[in-house]
Chains A and B, each alone.
Chain A
Amino acid sequence: MPSLSFDSELAAVWPRLRRLAHALARNPADADDLAQMAAEKAFKSFAQFQPGTKFDSWMFRICRTVWIDMIRSGTRRAAHEAPEEAGEAVGFDPRPATDAAIDLRTAMAAMQRLPEEQREVVALILVDGCGYREAAEILEQPIGTVSSRLARGRQALLAMLGEGG
């Protein structure tokens, strides 16, 4: 029985877990499901958590696994209402990104247009602020792979969200 309290560890990382889920998932409802499912799965596997390692990284790795399962199994919420959502908020703001704050909906829609392997890297490094090494560990990818996906992902995002000045 781990001596750590799962609930208190989860509570500390919960806002960031939800943010990560929003960066990955296609809409807020899916994101909430994802965060919830990840938390549940983590609770069930908590005995496998190694004390002394970072709980947030472990939690994020589980979140990513659950997210991939969601994509593969197609168990995303409201598939019938989602299709038009993905692109509609992107590219309609005539102001350059320098002047216009990006709103959540626009950011989520732009993230959706990234290939999944770029999206997860961008979500971890640009949105959450993970270091490259930490992201590589969470994703179980070589650091070189992570940095090349990150480069492609952020180029694509810049093209979508405005070139700025």
Chain B
Amino acid sequence: MTEEEEFFAWLDGELEGGQAARVEARVAASPELAARAEAHRRLAAGLRDAFEPVLQSAPEPPRFQAAEVVDFRARAVRRDEHRSQFGLPQWAAMAATLALGLLVGNLVGGSDRDAPVTLDHGQLIAAAALSHSLDTALASSPGNEGARIGLTFRSTKGNVCRSFQDGQASGLACREGRQWRVEGLFRDGEGQSSDYRMAAGQNPRLAELIDQTIAGEPLDAAQEKSTRDRGWR
């Protein structure tokens, strides 16, 4: 280690005991060295301060693992935003996330009859069992079978939307024609109880989606029932 490197190592707190004391004494005895030490301390502090905004402004980290989100609508928006803005990696990561979600979740059925969601002309719609629950179930009187309904409300587009919890997933479906179009499907997180008291809407990403979709207040029990009896119009 040169004398200069030793000086910097001392400055950085990398020296121990006797060696540190020797450099310290040398610096104390030399105004020139003391000034250098001060200038380099300021440089290091200035550099750290300069990069501090990057720490403070960090956007959400990318997520790779659980793929709780199969929120196709938001994904499509993000994809369009990011396609030009980001290179391949961002999109590839999202695609990986999506693929994982489908693999792990089996939430979207092709041939899988138990899947709650199916594809119809490129749109995600509630499959038979889920569709039946959405058609008939009331949040106020949950049945023993099928999806449990959380909130029922009118969207900003005026159609009826219902959040649901079905097996390991929760989501939001909105009425379109005679179908329930699935606006978002979220795999319930690890450690999140699937106990029925965890009504749909507990998932924070679902809550966010509802927040973006809802117009006004959710329907109360009487409104929910009368809307059902009118065929969700």
Contacts and interface: CB of A to CB of B under 8 A. Distances in A.
Determine which residue in A11, A33, A148, A164 has the highest number of CB atoms from chain B within 10 A of its CB, and name it.
A164
Interface of A: 5-7, 10-11, 14-16, 18-19, 22-23, 31-33, 36-37, 39-40, 43, 77, 97-98, 101-104, 106-107, 122, 125-127, 129, 131-132, 144, 147-148, 150-151, 154, 157-158, 161, 163-165
B5 A43 contact: no
Interface of B: 1-2, 4-5, 8-9, 12, 14, 35, 38-40, 42-44, 46-51, 53-56, 58, 61-66, 86-87, 89-90, 92-93, 96
B89 A157 contact: no
B54 A11 contact: no
Contacts of B89: 33, 36-37, 40
A164 B62 contact: no
A40 B92 CA distance: 9
Contact of A36 (B8, B39, B56, B86): B86
The 10 A-B residue pairs with the shortest CB-CB distance, nearest first, are A107-B50, A14-B61, A15-B58, A164-B39, A102-B50, A43-B64, A102-B46, A19-B54, A15-B55, A147-B5
Nearest to A149: B5
A104 B50 CA distance: 5
A97 B42 contact: yes
Contacts of A106: 50
A40 B97 CA distance: 11
A97 B46 contact: yes
B46 A101 contact: yes
